[in-house]
């Protein structure tokens, strides 16, 4: 008998403004839209019209969600104040209002940015800090009826690698995410509105990131929340894709995305939407054949 892949449970994620996003019937593809001048994975910054066009193209290519971010959070990045972040993301959100038929996520850890983005039509907040950076964020999410992605990391962009020290990375990531879930719920966010992200590449060396991918089912089962995985073009893939240009890591990304699908992920967050939609669909066929 074949060894079964882990069961992918069905969840219903509430969206700000009404509506529900079902997770688990199939893996959803989240397209990354970085509206920053220093994105590690894009060759040049996007103008507002170009960012709007890219979001619409991602939708046409099969994206199930769009994640818009106005601050680079790559290791070593400088922080951006809320005014600069808002100046980048708000024109894009406003330009997309009524033109997208898929949910929009705002990639921010700042309460003031999340509030404005939700006003402009965003329905999900994607917090790379797991509520560690801005204590005012969770109450905004709760009050607005949004869902939130809680990602695991340690420290800030400048010092996260210094904190990449683990005895058992999966156990520690799971316990730290459990604390983030508790903080969200204490602020009034329903458990049903929470997605977890193990934070591939954040405060983790390459071996840690591969270890998290290999043992993804343990995190999902322990926390009983839908899981988002974001391996796209990240530095840990350089062990396989030696080219210095992150845009040359899509083949390695495809392998990581496949592992995430087979490991029970509910959402994968990627740059190359059209290509990764094909990868996800093929991996889903393998997953379903083994179910």
**Active-site residue set:** 234, 269
The DSSP letter of residue 145 is T
For 105-110, the CB contacts below 8 A with 24+ separation are 105/30, 105/65, 105/66, 105/67, 105/68, 105/149, 106/67, 106/68, 106/69, 107/67, 107/68, 107/69, 107/70, 107/71, 108/69, 108/70, 108/71, 109/133, 109/134, 109/137, 110/82, 110/85, 110/134, 110/137
Instruction: State both tokens at 72.
Output: 């680079």
What is the distance between the alpha carbons of residues 1 and 94, in angstroms, rounded to a whole number? 53
Taking the alpha carbons at both ends of the chain, their separation in whole angstroms is: 12
Report the length, in residues, of the chain. Answer: 291
Q: Is 111 exposed, middle or buried (0-12, 13-18, 19+ CB in 10 A)?
A: buried
């Amino acid at each position: 008998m074949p060894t079964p892949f882990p069961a992918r449970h069905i969840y219903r994620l509430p969206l700000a403004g009404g509506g529900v996003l079902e997770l688990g019937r199939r893996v959803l593809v989240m397209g990354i839209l970085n509206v920053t001048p220093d994105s590690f994975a894009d060759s040049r910054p996007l103008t507002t019209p170009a960012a709007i066009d890219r979001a619409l193209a991602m939708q046409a290519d099969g994206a199930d969600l769009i994640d818009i971010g106005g601050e680079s959070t790559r290791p070593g990045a400088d922080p951006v104040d809320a005014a600069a972040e808002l100046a980048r993301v708000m024109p894009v959100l406003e330009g997309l209002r009524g033109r997208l038929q898929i949910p929009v996520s705002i990639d921010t850890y700042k309460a003031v940015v999340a509030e404005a983005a939700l006003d402009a039509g965003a329905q999900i907040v994607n917090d790379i800090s797991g509520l560690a950076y801005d204590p005012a964020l969770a109450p905004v999410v709760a009050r607005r009826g949004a869902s939130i992605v809680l990602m695991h990391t340690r420290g800030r962009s400048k010092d996260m690698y210094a904190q990449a020290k683990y005895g058992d990375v999966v156990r520690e990531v799971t316990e730290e995410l459990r604390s983030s879930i508790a903080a969200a719920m204490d602020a009034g966010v329903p458990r049903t509105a929470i997605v977890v992200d193990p934070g591939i590449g954040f405060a983790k060396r390459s071996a840690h990131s591969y270890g998290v991918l290999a043992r993804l089912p343990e995190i999902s089962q322990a926390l009983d929340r839908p899981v988002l995985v974001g391996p796209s073009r990240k530095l840990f893939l350089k062990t396989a894709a030696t080219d210095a240009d992150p845009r040359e890591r899509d083949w390695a990304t495809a392998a990581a995305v496949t592992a995430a699908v087979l490991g029970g992920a509910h959402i994968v967050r990627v740059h190359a939407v059209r290509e990764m939609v094909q990868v996800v669909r093929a991996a889903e066929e393998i997953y379903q054949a083994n179910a």
